[in-house]
Structures are given as C-alpha cells and as structure tokens.
C-alpha cells in the first residue's frame, strides 16, 4: 500500500509537465479583499493589498496590462517562436511514454497531444501495451465532455473501484485549480452514473470503501474546512442517501491541516484508515477495528505503510523505544497485529548514512521494493521475508541517474515497471519480474535533443557552515572555463522534496542544445539525504537552504564555468521563494531570475489560500519570535529601491488556489514602483502548475527560456 499519502499535500515536481508543490477565514476589508479582523494590523502598510483580490476587476486589469508588456517584449525576440514551437512539438509528441496503472484487466493512461488538447482517459491490455502502437480504448474524451458541458475541465485523476473495477470516482478541475468536482463513472457503459456519488467543486477527499459506500471529506458548510482550506471532517457516505445524512467518523480541529479517510488493499487484506495532519509533517493515523478506529501509536512525524500483514514505519526523527534508538530516516517493520497489541520487535529494513537515504517504496506479490539514494543517485533493492528473516538483493541501475520502480499488481504477480533515466539518457520503461533476471524494454523516449557532445558531472560546494552541498552540472564536453558560458542554476530546497538526475526534453531543447550549461543544486530543505537534510533548513534554520544555493552559485563562478552576468537562476513554488530571496540577498551573483508560482510575502503567507499548512515548514509569522527570523529573508519585505537587482521574470496563474497569485503580483508591483527591471506574466488559468494544457505549458516555458537566454548569452 504505497500509492496514497494525502495527495493534496504531496510535493511533486516535473520539469516537463510543470507540476510542482504546494482558503482562509474571511471578513470584508478594503478593495474587496477578504482579511481576518485580527490580521488588519499586518496589512495596513501594504500598498498593494488590493492585488490579493484574485478575480477583482482592478487586479485583473493590472494583470492584463502587465501581460501585454511582457508578451510584447518576449514574443518579439527571434528566439521565442522557435523555442515555443520546439517545446510544443515535444509535449505533443506521440513518442512520449504513456504511463499506465493496472486496474483489473486494463492498464489506464491519461494522454494529451495536439489533437486531444484537454486529453483522453484511456485503457488497453498488456499485450497491446507492449506493441509500438497499442490499440487504446477511450474511456473519457475530456475535449468532448468540456464542449458538451461548456466547462473548462482539466483532468485531476480517477479512483477505480477495487476488485469490481467497473466504477470510478473521477475528479475534474475548472481551469486547473486544486478544487475539484467529483463524479461517479461507469467504466462498462462509459458514462457518468445517474444519481451516483457526486460532489460539487471543493477541495475534497473521497475514497471508495466498497461498492456502495465511500469516505468523504469536503466543504460541508461553515466551519467544516481547516484554516489551510482542506477538509477537517471525514464522513462515511452510503449510496442512495443524501450527503447530509452521511455519518461522521472523524472530526479534526480547525487549526489542523486536514483529514481524510482511505482504504488499503494489501496482499488479500483490506484496512480502513483515518489520517489527520495536525501539521504538514505530522500525522495521526487510526485503523478500523470493528466499529471503532484505533490510534496507531507512533512518533507524530512517522509515516505509516502496510505490507503483507506488516506495519511499516518510516521515521522522520530519531525514536527511542524499549531502550533502542532508531535514527531519522530509518524504515522499520513489525507484524501489524503484534504492533497493535503493543509489540515493538522491529526489523530494520533500511538505515540511512550520511550520504544515503530512502527515496521510495513499492511492492509486488512476494517482494518489497526499496529505492534508495546514494549521493543523489538511485539504487533499487528487493526485500523478501524467508523463514522469518528479511533477504535483500540489488536491482541493476546506472552509476549516475534515477530509477523508479513500481509493482504492477501485488495481488497477482511479481511483475514491476522500472524507469531508468538521467540528464542525457532518454527515459526507458522496462518490465521486470522480481526474483528473476532480465528486463524487457517496453517503451523509450526518442532523443528530443542532441546529447553526443554533452556530459554530466557532479560536484560539491561548501556552504557557509561547512556542509558539503552536491550539485550536478550538464555541459558541453571540454567546456571552456572562461566565465562566459550562459548557465542556468535550478533548485527547490523544501518540503523534503528531492531533485534527481532525469531526462528533461524541455531543458535539453530550450537550453542545453543552444549551448547553455545546466546546474541542479541539491540544497538542504530537500530530501536528498533523508529527513535530516530537510529538517536542517526548516523554520529558524531556513537561511541554510539559501546559503547552500549561494555556495553552489559561487562555486560555479569560482571554477570559471560562468560569471554573474551569465548566471541565471530558476525556481518555482517554494523554489520561487528561493528566487525571491536570492534576488534580495545576493543580487550581485546573478544576471537574470525566473521566479514561478512563488511564495514571496512571508508576512501574510499563512493567511492566503493553503498557506496555513506550511507553517510547519517556515514557522508562524504571527508569532513575534518566529517573524524575527522569517522577516530576515521574506522577499517582499526586503525589497529596496536603492539596490541594483538583476532583471526578473515572474510568472504565475490566476487559478492557482494553492500558492496565492497575490504573492507574485505584489512583488512585481513593488519592484516596478521602485524602478527595477521586472516582467510579469499571469496565466488566467492553469492552477499551481501555471498551465492547463500543452499549448499553455509551451507558451509559459518559452517566455521563461526566451527571457533567460536573452539576458545571459
């Protein structure tokens, strides 16, 4: 059971798809803004508060005016159209790998291309999938559905009913927002179920219990959502009854991040759970026993999994039990029933070291699959329990690169999918069988950019406190070290999210193929070396992530790969905050900045949309002792008219209901007021990824790469 973990809060990134990270309480205030009464004192000095009015006429008039300025300048560049057309052809390519998930006899996939702009939810069989051109059966054509219903639908996924596999809970978003409409779909008739399970637009969590009941958390009315904008109440809803009659099975606090119910089907066992997050990185988990839910006694920040009648605990902090201390990042296993009865005779399935961490878990019928990171490169292992002892064997993997391993159907087989990739190796998807040698190549990407004259290198920079910070560099072989190479430095550094070597056709075609150098920095705050690497840059230690990034920039310049006038930086979401901090703290180091979907006003982030959920990462700015350290790096509060900043492009989306677009708007407006060089572009739809279809992705990426190339070459 490894395919769920409060997906509204998960932190994922994809350079190709532009998908990365991340509704408060209201009382009417000036300019149509909703602001809590207690918060008024913190915003009276904010001249651009009116830009927080997401769809207000004044604010959108400002957005459209800025968009016009930015598009006029960037589209006029001779680089813009070739970059955009090249990226669009990549995103629409029929040669992309169609990722599938097995549900019953079918393998499901969601697909977009030039003819299916909104996309197709489709399915096939394994025999067909192995073919170069599989015969796909369309389940839902989102373009047809959107046209028929006159809605701007964006696909957000579907949950297929276990065992019967003939029904699905389909999630549809208007314009790409996190808030979704949920509807029950008949997979046999290929139509929505009349009077089936259905929820109106909200940030909801709904999961099948069985054919005729679901766990549901949604906006049930006043007081039913947390301060972070997620459900705090979980109900059990039976078919044929109104939602108002659903039985409450759990009720969290308003100050919690959110709660949800879920069901794990694991090697013939079915477990029902309630998960409640008091904070982003803490989770109370309850397992159903009869009519009651029983708390799983564990460290607050430990992550729960099950595997073949075992409870697995993934530790995020040190834990001492029965006189023995297990290190942060350790994976423990114990018989589930024994654990619930008080047993603590753990088997240690993984223990971290200084440069080694656990990246992911999956399973097959007879094996547990662990993917580990060794100095930010993947290593995959099989574990099986034989005669009461765990045996371990290694799966082959490249020396530099990333491996992703997923069991296909733990009920039926030991088959698994394995994807192998690095910066210069197009991703390849193989089919393997745990315990048996050999892999069958199923799909592989073509070479979307020329790589024969490129190489990957890995270096360490020394941060301000002496910590070794690894980074990857992709460049031409025999690169002339004269300080004149256009170089793009990318990072994230938050929420324990790891940045791994992976093939990005976008970066390759828009940057590397044009002669640029690409650098990926594995700074603290990420998860590359486990929870300790992340915790080292949380809250009062946040500056360490920024010091790490600075150290990489300085190291690249010291090795004469580039120099400040040719060094650009790029980051989105929490990485957008990183960009804002770099602009304000070390403007002398960089020649251009792209700041996407950013957090920038750290004085008010916890009062905007999902921001309250991130106080576990950054701290609470409403507490003076915590604002004391947050205020030192908050970009919006640290802009100065008398400083010289490098040119910056800020991009976001009106429909981003995770990171409020007001962050980007206000920062751009203040930069302009102070006379700095800033361009701003806001997609009117697109959600936190800032784009809802391939055309928008290509356009937004082309704006960014055109801007960066023009400033750094």
Tens-digit pLDDT profile for residues 612-639: 999 999 999 999 999 999 999 999 999 9
377-423 pLDDT per residue, tens = 999 999 999 999 999 999 876 677 799 999 999 999 999 999 999 99
pTM score, whole prediction: 0.89
Give the position of tokens 């197009």: 426
Active site residues: 573, 688
Contact between 280 and 5 (Cβ < 8 Å): no
How far apart CA 613 and CA 229 sit, in angstroms, is 9
How far apart CA 560 and CA 455 sit, in angstroms, is 17
How far apart CA 112 and CA 92 sit, in angstroms, is 7
**Does residue 36 have a pLDDT over 90?**
no
**Does residue 39 have a pLDDT over 70?**
no
Class of domain 7-88+448-712: alpha beta
Distances (CA, A) of 16 to 90, 448, 583, 703: 9, 12, 25, 15
513-539 pLDDT per residue, tens = 999 999 999 999 999 999 999 999 999
**Does residue 192 have a pLDDT over 60?**
yes
Q: What does the pLDDT read at residue 657?
A: 85
Contact between 171 and 156 (Cβ < 8 Å): yes
pLDDT-derived band at 689 (thresholds 50, 70, 90) equals low
Q: Of 708, 680, 575, give the one whose Cα is nearest residue 72.
A: 680
Q: SS3 of 122, please?
A: strand
**Does residue 40 have a pLDDT over 70?**
no
Phi and psi torsions of 64, nearest 5°: -65, -35
DSSP assignment letter at 152: -
């Amino acid at each position: 059971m490894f395919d769920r973990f409060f997906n509204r809060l998960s932190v994922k990134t994809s350079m190709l798809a532009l998908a990365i990270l991340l509704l408060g309480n209201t009382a009417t205030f000036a300019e149509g803004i909703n602001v809590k009464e207690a918060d008024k004192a913190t915003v009276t000095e904010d001249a651009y508060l009116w830009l927080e009015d997401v769809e207000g006429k004044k604010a959108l008039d400002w957005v459209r005016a800025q968009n016009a300025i930015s598009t006029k300048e960037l589209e006029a560049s001779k680089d813009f159209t070739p970059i955009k057309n090249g990226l669009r052809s990549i995103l629409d390519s029929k040669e992309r790998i169609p990722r599938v998930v097995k549900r019953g006899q079918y393998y499901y996939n969601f697909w977009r291309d030039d003819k299916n702009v909104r996309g197709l939810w489709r399915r096939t069989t394994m025999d067909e999938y192995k073919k170069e051109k599989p015969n796909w059966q369309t389940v839902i054509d989102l373009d047809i559905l959107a046209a028929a219903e006159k809605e701007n639908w964006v696909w957000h996924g579907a949950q297929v009913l276990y065992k019967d596999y003939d029904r699905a809970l389909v999630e549809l978003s208007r314009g790409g927002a996190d808030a979704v409409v949920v509807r029950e779909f008949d997979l046999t008739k290929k139509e929505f179920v009349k009077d089936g399970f259905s929820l109106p637009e909200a940030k909801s969590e709904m999961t099948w219990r069985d054919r005729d009941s679901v766990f549901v958390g949604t906006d049930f009315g006043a007081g039913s959502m947390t301060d972070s904008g997620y459900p705090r109440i979980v109900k059990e809803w039976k078919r044929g009854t109104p939602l108002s009659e659903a039985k409450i099975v759990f009720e969290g606090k308003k100050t919690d991040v959110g709660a949800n119910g879920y069901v794990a089907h694991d090697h013939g066992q079915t477990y029902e759970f309630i998960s409640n997050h008091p904070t982003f990185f803490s989770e109370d988990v309850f397992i159903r026993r009869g009519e009651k839910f029983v708390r799983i006694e564990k460290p607050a920040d430990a992550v729960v999994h099950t595997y073949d009648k075992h409870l697995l605990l993934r530790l995020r902090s040190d834990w001492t039990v029965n006189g023995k201390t297990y290190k942060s990042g350790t994976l423990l296993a114990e018989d589930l029933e024994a654990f619930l009865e008080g047993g603590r005779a753990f088997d240690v399935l993984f223990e971290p070291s200084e440069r080694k961490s656990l990246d992911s878990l999956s399973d097959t019928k007879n094996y547990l699959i662990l993917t580990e990171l060794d100095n930010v490169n993947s290593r995959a292992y099989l574990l099986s329990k034989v005669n009461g002892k765990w045996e371990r064997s290694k799966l082959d993997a490249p020396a530099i690169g990333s491996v992703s391993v997923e069991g296909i159907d733990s009920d039926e087989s030991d088959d698994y999918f394995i994807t192998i990739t690095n910066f210069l190796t197009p991703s390849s998807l193989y089919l393997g069988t745990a315990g048996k040698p050999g892999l069958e190549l199923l799909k592989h990407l073509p070479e979307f950019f020329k790589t024969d004259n490129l190489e990957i290198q890995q270096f360490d920079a020394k941060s301000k406190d002496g910590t070794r910070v690894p980074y990857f560099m992709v460049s031409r072989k025999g690169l002339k070290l004269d300080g004149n190479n256009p170089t793009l430095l990318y990072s994230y550094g938050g929420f324990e999210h790891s940045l791994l070597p992976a093939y990005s056709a976008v970066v390759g075609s828009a940057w590397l193929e044009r002669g640029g150098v690409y650098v990926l920095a594995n700074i603290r705050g990420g998860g590359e070396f486990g929870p300790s690497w992340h915790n080292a840059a949380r809250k009062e230690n946040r500056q360490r992530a920024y010091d790490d990034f600075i150290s990489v920039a300085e190291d690249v310049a010291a090795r004469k790969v580039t120099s400040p006038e040719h060094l650009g930086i790029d980051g989105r979401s929490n990485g957008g905050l990183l960009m804002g901090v770099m602009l304000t703290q070390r403007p002398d180091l960089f020649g251009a900045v792209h700041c996407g979907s950013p957090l920038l006003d750290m004085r008010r982030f916890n009062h905007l949309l999902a921001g309250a959920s991130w106080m576990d990462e950054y701290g609470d700015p409403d507490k003076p002792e915590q604002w004391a350290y947050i205020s030192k790096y908050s970009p919006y509060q640290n802009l100065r008219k008398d400083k010289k900043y490098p040119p910056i492009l800020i991009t976001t989306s009106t429909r981003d209901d995770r990171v409020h677009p007001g962050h980007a708007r206000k920062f751009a407006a203040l930069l302009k007021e102070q006379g700095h060089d800033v361009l701003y572009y806001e997609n009117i739809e697109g959600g936190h990824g800032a784009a809802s279809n391939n055309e928008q992705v290509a356009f937004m990426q082309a704006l960014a790469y055109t801007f960066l190339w023009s400033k750094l070459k």
